[in-house]
Each structure stands twice: as structure tokens, then as C-alpha cells.
Amino acid sequence: MTPKALVITSNVGVEQDELLKPLAFLRSKGIECIHAALEQKPVQTVRHDKDPAQSYDPDALLGKVDVNDYDILIIPGGTVNAGTLRMNKDAQKLVQQFSDAKKPIAAICHGPWLLINANRIQNKHLTSYPSIQLDLENAGGKWVNADVHHCNTDGWMLITSRSPEDIPVFNNAILQELETHN
């Protein structure tokens, strides 16, 4: 069976490369990818957190997706995107459902912020954009400075990366996780 990835975003402030490059890479490897957003309207992306980039239509509504249909959850960054997702109950619930089902989650840049509000950061070793290191540590995470980090604490895999520069290793880590466990 073909692995299936769920990528979730808000509708504003999504770091363009952190959304599009994993989608394109995984699709090129035969992985089915669905992009779900908070609202069924265009998603406005940015570059470097402040420069407007292109808009993209999501494939699904975040509040309507079923964790049982997917093999991995991917959370792109962008400060506004991650800040919005972390306050959204549906996004928090998805993180909780994926981790409870022992399914992997991959987050890049500011994406790990959502893990804090979903109460899934305690004792996890992870990396992120350096500016949120203290947030993650204060929530009980163990921050490491690495281009990609894998953590299987509590029986579910968390894959994290720091920034758009780390996207190639982030993408390969996601692909390896899907190939190993499907």
C-alpha cells in the first residue's frame, strides 16, 4: 500500500519552502500527500517569515481529516503559521491522535510549537529554529542543535529540523521513516 502523508497548515504565514519542498519531494517518491488547512481557502505563504510569496489551495479541511487515513503528520514552520496552529484545537487534537496511535510526526522550524500546546513535548529530544529553544525546554523538551533529529521517546517517532536550509535532510528523514515502517 502506498504511504500517505498529511501536511497541516494555517491559511497565513506558512514558510513557502517548508510546505512545497516536502510535498514535491515526497510526491516524486510516490508518496500520496494531502495538504490540509484550517480553512478551505487559499494558503498565503511567505519567505523568510516576512516576504509574501505565492498562495496555494489546500486539498482538505484540517478539522475534517481522519488520523487513520495517514501514515505521518508533517508540520511546516513559519512563525505566524506555527503560532496559529498551536492555538487551534483541531491541530492540537491531530498531534495527540497521531502520537497516541504511535504514528510519526515531522516538524520543521517553528512547527514544534504546536507540540507544546498539544502536550506532546515532555521528554522528547528535538531541534527547531533556535529562537524557540527556550520555549521547547520550558515545556519539558530536550533541545539539540542538529540539521535533523529523530526521537522515539514514548513510542512514537518525532522528526525535527531547524530551518529551510535543512529541508533536504528533513525530506530524506521523512522518506526513510515511511519506507522503514510501511
Mean pLDDT of the chain: 97
**Side chain identity, residue 76:** P
User: What is the dihedral sign for C-alpha 165, 171, 173, 174?
Assistant: positive
SS3 118: coil
Active site residues: 109-110
Q: Which candidate, 177, 181, 182, places its Cα nearest to that of 160?
A: 177
Q: For each of the domains in the chain, give its residue range(s) and CATH number, in order of start.
A: 4-180 (3.40.50.880)
Share of the chain above pLDDT 90, in %: 97
> Quick check: 19 and 11 in contact, CB under 8 A?
no
| DSSP conformation class of 42 | P
Whole-model pTM over 0.75:
yes
pLDDT for 1 beyond 90: no
Share of the chain above pLDDT 70, in %: 100
Q: Which candidate, 14, 57, 59, places its Cα nearest to that of 33?
A: 59
- The strand ranges marked E within 91-179 are 105-108, 125-126, 142-143, 148-151, 158-161
pLDDT for 75 beyond 80: yes
Per-residue pLDDT of 94-111, as tens digits, reads: 999 999 999 999 999 999
